[in-house]
Amino acid sequence: MVIPGEQPFYASVTGNAPELDACRILVVDDDASLRRTLPRALAREGRSFDESATVADAIAALERQRYNLILLDYRLPDGTGLDVLDWLTRHERDEAVIIISGEDAIDAAIGALRGGADDYVRKPYHLAQLQRTVESTLHKTTLEHANQAMSQRLRASERLHRFLVESSPDLIFTLDTEGRFTYINPRVTQMLGYERASLMRRPFSTLVMAEDVDRINSLMFARGNTPGESFNVELRLRRNRETLIEGGVESTTVSLTGIPMPGSKGRISNGLYGVARDISERKRAEEIITFQAYHDQLTRLPNRVLFKDRLELAIAQAQRRTGALAVMFIDVDRFKLVNDTFGHAEGDTLLRGIAARLSTTLRRGDTLARLGGDEFTVLLPDINHPEDAEIIARKILEALSLPFRLEHGDFRATVSIGIALFPRDGDTAEDLTRHADIAMYQVKRSGKNAFRFFDTELNAHYRERIALENDLRLALERAEFELYYQPQVSMKQHRVVGMEALLRWNHPAHGQIGPATFIPVAEEMGLIGDISHWVLEQACAQLALWRKEGFDDLRMSLNLSPHDFSRKDIVEMVTECVHRHAVPPAQIEVEITESMMMQDTIGVAAKVKAMREAGLSVAIDDFGTGYSALAYLQKFPVSTLKIDRSFVRDLDGPSTNPIISAITGIARGFGLHLIAEGVERAEQAETLRILGCDIMQGYLFARPGTAAQATAWLEVAPQPAMPH
């Protein structure tokens, strides 16, 4: 690693110097014989020699090459050896120099040594003396070079480590045995806003937030601290208030690693080395993630998980104190209408507004949570009486009485509230929430915009409902459904002209169950489509069988659920089944309710028209109960009207039945078939006959029966005893 602004230490040490394992020697002497003999006398493995006779030649050689050693004669033809020494000094060269001279004057030796020569040998000399001087000088030079390289390495290492510490993104510091700063790097200014000089000799604890002081002191000054054994802790360091901008955070959260430093004896701590890393961003991210995990993102309210945690804690506290609490389950009425009409953005605005108003009705210790969609829950701890929860419920209804201003206009929101009490209605979070939910649904079914407390009868009802749902899911698979048939009798022809297929469920435990009990459940569960398809298949198959037995003109009536008409392929499903069983379409009559006809929310008219174009008959069941069906007969090309049993039940005579008279007139006017259902008495049948209704069905003729019983009725039509 190279420190900015510095050269690598190895470059300054080696430069262009010769390698230490190869020794190059320059012999400078005007005596040619000496220049030849010295290399032979000083020859060693790895040594090489160059020679020069003058100062100029020597300087030229030095400009071309670096040497480990120069053997330099004092007297030269163009100067003295001092000239070479002077050149070496000016050019900051580090070659070792031994002056070889015949000068007797001491001044020559002094001048040479002062000029930078490493040694001085006077001529004549013994060869051994020269060899020792050369060996000693080379050895000393090698040591000096090694020492110089080591010193430069140490200086470079020191610069490197100082650079790393001074430039570290972490706060690095040392403390003495009393916890006072002895060193702190510049990062402290950026991290905490202090000048580091102002912190020297100050206790580290002055930077620690008061809540964390005891904890960090217990770690720093623990008796068991051993040099080299580190500890890690998260704490908050105080920022310099003088440098804080308005609204700035007063502390920085750091992850601190502390390492006790060895003292003079190697086992007693001599202070602390610390590294503190700023983890504020990480902690903020963790807080955001934690908040998102336990809060609803739209309303910022606690979510289902956090509500359950708080409820379980409140239950535990109430059990210890023998106290009570309440749980509310709140559902927004008609919320889907807002989403479908104005869009989900407006729906979100409404939910935020509702959450804000709900919050204003609660006490300080209460918890309001959003479970999802338009469902909210409320925890009311520490209530003394059920009336306390009732007061809150009334406040909620009142708070929502004013309209909410949405982008497309005002909307008045109402809610249905179910309330469960601890310990009366349950002792677990799941039971209390579920029971409050059950009570809320009862409010929904009773008209909405109200509250209700849970009671055990509701629980029993819902347990039965769940059991019924579970059994209903398996009813088709277990072949528990059966079609019963009720004859439609022509009074003029004295025979059965039609059969209405009526579904029964042969429950293995509860016996036969009528459609009024399980069809609404099947519609809510989304099973009605499969059940209707089964009814259609069975009815068509039975009609095909009766046709083979000779009853060619028999008509089969069957009921379809309003939910069936939400299917895009309802017409194709019916016509395909009819064709597959080779039944004339006109002999299949599909019954729809008058209320479904009047609402026409799912394009019923278009599907009825398609059925009629396919040749199928379509009857309006319970005709007359809507009181406005006449306007829809132009729109719906139906083929049959069925007079509702509520009109037939009260028949006493022709003069007292204007509604039935009107219905018979409507049927004649539109050219429609007319069937009266629910005929139970002979007087009713006679009155209907007089009013112009020929085809009837009801207990007067036969109760719904099996296919075998229905076959017998086809052979011998059931006849009522008519009054005279």
In CATH, the architecture of 168-285 is 2-Layer Sandwich (3.30)
User: CA-CA distance, 658 to 643, in Å (whole number)?
Assistant: 13
Q: Which tokens in the block code for residue 472?
A: 């209903």
Are 546 and 485 in contact by the 8 Å Cβ rule? The answer is no
For the chain, what is the radius of gyration of the CA atoms?
Answer: 54
**CB atoms < 10 A from the CB of 91, how many?**
10
The pLDDT value given to residue 290: 84
Per DSSP, the three-state class of 28 is strand
Q: What is the pLDDT of residue 225?
A: 57
**Residue 329 has which token pair?**
């389950």
590 in Cβ contact with 611 (< 8 Å): yes
Q: Which of 567, 624, 564 has the alpha carbon at shortest distance from 598?
A: 624
The enclosing H or E element of 258 equals strand 251-262
Rounded CA-CA distance 595/628 in Å is 10
Q: Can you tell me whether residue 635 is helix, strand or coil?
A: coil
| Share in percent of the chain as helix, strand, coil (round to 5) | 45, 25, 30
Single-letter amino acid, residue 5: G
Starting at the edge strand found earlier in the chain, the sheet holding 251-262 runs 181-184, 171-175, 269-278, 251-262, 231-238
Question: What does the block give as tokens for 279?
Answer: 């983890």
Counting Cα atoms < 13 Å in the Cβ hemisphere of 705 gives 17
| Chain-centroid distance, C-alpha 179 | 45
Cα separation of 589 and 608, whole Å? 11
Residues 6+ apart with CB under 8 A from 544: 581, 582, 583
State the residue for tokens 């006493």: 652
Whole-model pTM: value is: 0.49
Q: CB of 469 within 8 A of CB of 536?
A: no
**Quick one: residue 533, left, alpha or beta (phi over 0 = left, psi -120 to 50 = alpha)?**
alpha
* Structure confidence by residue, pLDDT tens digits, 622-667: 776 654 456 667 667 888 888 888 888 877 655 556 778 888 888 8
Quote the CATH superfamily of domain 301-454.
Reverse transcriptase/Diguanylate cyclase domain (3.30.70.270)
Q: Which residue has the tokens 């000068």?
A: 103
CA 621 to chain centroid, in Å, comes to 51
Fold of 485-715: TIM Barrel (3.20.20)
How far apart are alpha carbons 349 and 337 in whole angstroms?
14
Kindly give the residue spans of alpha helices, DSSP state H, lying in 295-368.
Answer: 304-321, 335-342, 344-360
The answer to whether 295 touches 288, Cβ cutoff 8 Å, is no
Query: Of 265, 360, 366, nearest to 310 (Cα)?
Result: 366
Residue for token digits 């569960």? 525
Question: How many whole angstroms separate alpha carbon 666 and alpha carbon 668?
Answer: 5
- Sites in the chain below the pLDDT cut of 70: 1-21, 222-228, 246-248, 263-269, 458-462, 597-602, 624-632, 634-635, 652-657, 721-724
Tokens read off for 43 = 């020859």
Task: Identify the architecture of domain 9-158 in CATH.
Answer: 3-Layer(aba) Sandwich (3.40)
What pLDDT sits at residue 22? 83
Q: Indicate the pairing of strand 640-643 with strand 617-623.
A: parallel
Q: What integer pLDDT is reported at residue 34 of this predicted model?
A: 87
Angle of CA points 519, 522, 524, to nearest 5°? 115
Among 345, 347, 327, 326, smallest CA distance to 336 is for 347
Q: What is the pLDDT of residue 458?
A: 64
Buried b (16+ CB within 10 A) or exposed e, 313-323: ebbeebeeeeb
The CB density around residue 45, as the number of other CB atoms within 10 Å, is 6
Q: How far apart are CA 474 and CA 93, in angstroms?
A: 103
Closest of 621, 622, 631, 647 to residue 598, by C-alpha: 631
* Rounded CA separation 723/659 (Å): 23
Question: H helices within 380-527, ranges in order?
Answer: 386-399, 429-445, 456-475, 515-525
pLDDT, residue 142, reads: 84
CB atoms within 10 A of CB 415: 25
Closest CA to 514 of 533, 486, 489: 486
CB 231 within 8 A of CB 260: no
Domain map of the chain by residue range? 9-158, 168-285, 301-454, 485-715
Instruction: Output the pLDDT for position 4.
Output: 43
DSSP state of 403: P
pLDDT value of position 5:
42
8 A C-beta contact, residue 649 and residue 675 = no
